[in-house]
Structure 1
Amino acid sequence: MAQLDTIVIATDSARLNGGTAKVAFIEAKGLVAMGYRVIFFAPTGPVDPDLAASGVEVICLNEPDVLDDPNRLRAMRRGIWNVGAARALRATLAPLDPVRTAIHAHSFSRALSPALGPVLTGAGFPSLFTMHEYFLACPNGGFYDYRKEEICTRRPLGPRCMSTNCDARSGLQKGWRVARQVALWGPGGLPRKLRHIAYISETQLAAMRPYLPAGAQLHHILNPVEIDLNAPRVAAENNDVFLFIGRLMPEKGALDFARAAKVAGVRAVFLGSGPQEAEIRAANPEAELAGWVSPAEVAQWLARARALVFPSLWYEGYPLVTCEALGVGVPCIVGKWSAAHEMVEDGVNGIVYDRREALAGALGRLRDTATVAAMSRAAYARRVHYAASPETHCAHVIEVLEEVISIRG
């Protein structure tokens, strides 16, 4: 049997614009370091300079993100079926040896579109699809009703789903998402034609399992997190900052945190920006909104944190920020519905609360210095278990891709 030597990573963006892109970048650079030829294919640019300089072969179409494209009709059309991206991906694959090459797809919802499906499953190459969210099943990708601000249990594309405007923007946007989902399940052939699917948490798998093909092989691949295992523990017990890191969007629970911090009388700091900034300032005038900051500044804020607060209201797949905080000994306060709770043992290395109204009480539990010190030490002691190192992640990806090739052969 020929040996795998080339991996084509297909994803929406060649710029660092979120957690999925970060995982794809770390993986691409790590696989190159292991000696593999890596071709990184993405419709949306511009290309990240570090990715371009890493030895990864980047093929970027420099299309605008569907959310940023000023030509809305073009954006809607490309979002449902991006003919150009599918054609370019086929052209990228054409000169490659299918016996020595595998495709690893990470996302399609922002640029690749459901047109990825026939290429991924019908171009003759072994392939793996990693779920970073829930777009294979749910039109809005989150099993979340943005209007009611609650987790959605309606069956995707069922009568109740089709008759409910759950979209964060408008009913027209929901209609567009439904059209994309029809294209995905129909001519896109996803997920029904997938034979190998990776998931990133048990929380994600539980939500998605009813919608995955019975014959697909499921692989649990942890996201890579760059944690310096030699970094000293953050003495959280000496700090007073309760830290939020992320977009200031309704589904992220930032406003819940602002209100709860006001009730609990704790110092709230927000790293990020978004449409809820004004509401957060009104709900908690003492809160500090620092906006987006550099990775080095994030590390500086974590060093000043008593706890990281992760109040997200939906089924977050596996939030990297909680891994990073716990890895340096910062206790985390998380809701039991997101995958963040898989990293936190209540009362040991953080707090898991069971309903939104309980967040203020959870913050209050960390007033006691001895409690915070014990949680910080416990979090730090477990730092190797929260996620995979980049090296471990890449080794696991190769293990799965070699299995995919061997089964195909």
Structure 2
Amino acid sequence: MPDKIERVVLFHDYSEALGGASYLVQVLIEELRSRDVPVTFFAGDTGTNFGRDDVEFIPLNGKSLLARSTIGALTKGLFNPPSLFRVRDWIRENDTPGTIYHVHGWTKILSPAVFGALRDVSQRVILHGHDYFNSCPNGAFFNYVTEQDCSLTPLSAACLSCRCDKSSYAHKLWRSGREAVRRVQTVGANANRMLLIHPGQARNFALGHWPAEKLVAVRNPVTPLAPQRIEAERNNGIIYIGRISAEKGADLAAKAAAMAGIPITFVGDGSEVDHVRAINPDAIMLGRQDRAGAAKALSRAKLAVMPSRWAEPFGLVALEAIGSGVPVIVSNRALVAPEIERAGFGLSANTANLEEFARTLLDLHADNARVKRMSTHGHKNYLNLCNTPESWANTIVNQYEQALL
């Protein structure tokens, strides 16, 4: 067995920080290179904005499935042979016993073909559970039609007959096909382990027949948007940061803020922007912002909200706000919700119940003393629920080393 990690090969749909998981890929690359670990990065996109020259960067020149024609998305999303050939050829030419393969994310541009390419080195493959793909066809263990959590065994008869997809039943069947293809690619040779971003995910992955010994929780790293505590108690209004989409509950935030009569600012972009504007015409829509822009918007807020309809496995934006000194009201479905409330960093609420959500917003927004306590406590102690980039990378490197034993 090799006595050290010789190279880490990362796979992700996007080569730039467009959101939570794609941002974390960049953090991981930075941390690995700071430890002098050689990195090869396969990205699904063209890599136009990737600028590192200390990484072997291999763009697969694909497009987001949402940007493809219907036929293109159906076919390339199900199985993309060029990706398989490119990755397989690299492995044949460059693999060593000390090379680790880390699949960070594959569902937006890449396809299950990547698992076919990795089959012969699967004992050194690490997957990352930023969502519930690699188990649940829709990636959420959530029924988007009934807006209820799902406990069906993925790809069982009950699962396949369930109309749970946010788009259509036909789309559900296509997603099920992708998961089936992924499993076929890994028959008898699954990944070495799955890194969960919260220990509470283990229950759902067990439904997908993942053995408990292959599930390892490594909480995400959090870097507060603001280095100094935001004096939230002096501010006014609510902020929502993230994708403006139905599953993220952007419309719920807009409605609850309107009911409570509290101004709300949205930072982000997505399919529900026009719908949110229609719901709450007074809402400030800043669109997608870089970290500096998001920090500026956050610095003016008294409260942040994370009202997702599904059970968010972590909630990076919530912890970034808390660490900056802005208390959060979070959906009680989120895995971190009870932890945030117990820690005194914010409140958990049934955000799908608009009356309860609005009342919770109104009560906390009016209580400056309580906001100050939460602000101070969260800014000081947010790391109780997450990692620093350094501790996160140290833990991941340790998992790589364990996979080489």
TM surpasses 0.5: yes
Supply the distance in 1 between the matched residues of 2:335 and 2:293 (Cα, whole angstroms): 26
Equivalent residue number for residue 240 of structure 2: 244
Letter in structure 2 aligned against 1:309: V
Q: TM-score when scaled to structure 2?
A: 0.92
Asked whether the equivalents of residues 248 and 274 of structure 1 are also in contact (C-alpha less than 8 Å), the reply is yes
* Secondary structure in structure 1 of the residue aligned to 2:44: strand
Equivalent residue number for residue 311 of structure 2: 315
Equivalent residue number for residue 58 of structure 2: 59
Equivalent residue number for residue 215 of structure 2: 218
Equivalent residue number for residue 405 of structure 1: 404
Letter in structure 2 aligned against 1:78: K
Shift of 1:81: 1.6
Supply the distance in 2 between the matched residues of 1:83 and 1:94 (Cα, whole angstroms): 16
Supply the distance in 1 between the matched residues of 2:122 and 2:153 (Cα, whole angstroms): 33
Equivalent residue number for residue 22 of structure 2: 21
Counterparts in 2 of 1:201 and 1:133: CA distance versus 1, 3 Å? same
CA RMSD of aligned residues (A): 2.2
Supply the distance in 1 between the matched residues of 2:334 and 2:24 (Cα, whole angstroms): 19
Written as runs of structure 1 = structure 2, the 5 A alignment for 1:31-42 is 31-42=32-43
Aligned counterpart for 2:90 among listed residues 73, 92, 101: 92
Shift of 1:296: 0.9
Asked whether the equivalents of residues 102 and 125 of structure 1 are also in contact (C-alpha less than 8 Å), the reply is no
Letter in structure 1 aligned against 2:374: M
* TM-superposition CA deviations, 1:191-230 (whole Å, max 9, x none): x72231111102322322222432743222122223379x
Supply the distance in 1 between the matched residues of 2:132 and 2:317 (Cα, whole angstroms): 19
Supply the distance in 1 between the matched residues of 2:61 and 2:302 (Cα, whole angstroms): 42
Asked whether the equivalents of residues 114 and 180 of structure 1 are also in contact (C-alpha less than 8 Å), the reply is yes
Asked whether the equivalents of residues 116 and 188 of structure 1 are also in contact (C-alpha less than 8 Å), the reply is no
Asked whether the equivalents of residues 304 and 329 of structure 2 are also in contact (C-alpha less than 8 Å), the reply is yes
Q: TM-score when scaled to structure 1?
A: 0.91
Equivalent residue number for residue 259 of structure 2: 263
Counterparts in 2 of 1:2 and 1:96: CA distance versus 1, 3 Å? farther
Equivalent residue number for residue 296 of structure 2: 300
Please, which runs of 5 or more residues in structure 1 have no aligned partner?
Answer: none
* Secondary structure in structure 2 of the residue aligned to 1:344: helix
Asked whether the equivalents of residues 33 and 39 of structure 2 are also in contact (C-alpha less than 8 Å), the reply is yes
Letter in structure 2 aligned against 1:15: E
Letter in structure 2 aligned against 1:27: L
Asked whether the equivalents of residues 12 and 107 of structure 1 are also in contact (C-alpha less than 8 Å), the reply is yes
The answer to which of 375-384 and 149-158 deviates more is 149-158
The answer to which of 118-127 and 249-258 deviates more is 118-127
Identity %: 28
Supply the distance in 1 between the matched residues of 2:151 and 2:347 (Cα, whole angstroms): 26
Counterparts in 2 of 1:55 and 1:226: CA distance versus 1, 3 Å? farther
Supply the distance in 1 between the matched residues of 2:287 and 2:3 (Cα, whole angstroms): 50
Supply the distance in 1 between the matched residues of 2:258 and 2:342 (Cα, whole angstroms): 23
Counterparts in 2 of 1:345 and 1:186: CA distance versus 1, 3 Å? same
Supply the distance in 1 between the matched residues of 2:47 and 2:124 (Cα, whole angstroms): 28
* TM-superposition CA deviations, 1:239-271 (whole Å, max 9, x none): 112110112211111111111112222111111
Supply the distance in 2 between the matched residues of 1:46 and 1:178 (Cα, whole angstroms): 29
* TM-superposition CA deviations, 1:262-305 (whole Å, max 9, x none): 22221111112333233323332322222222221100111111
Letter in structure 2 aligned against 1:322: A
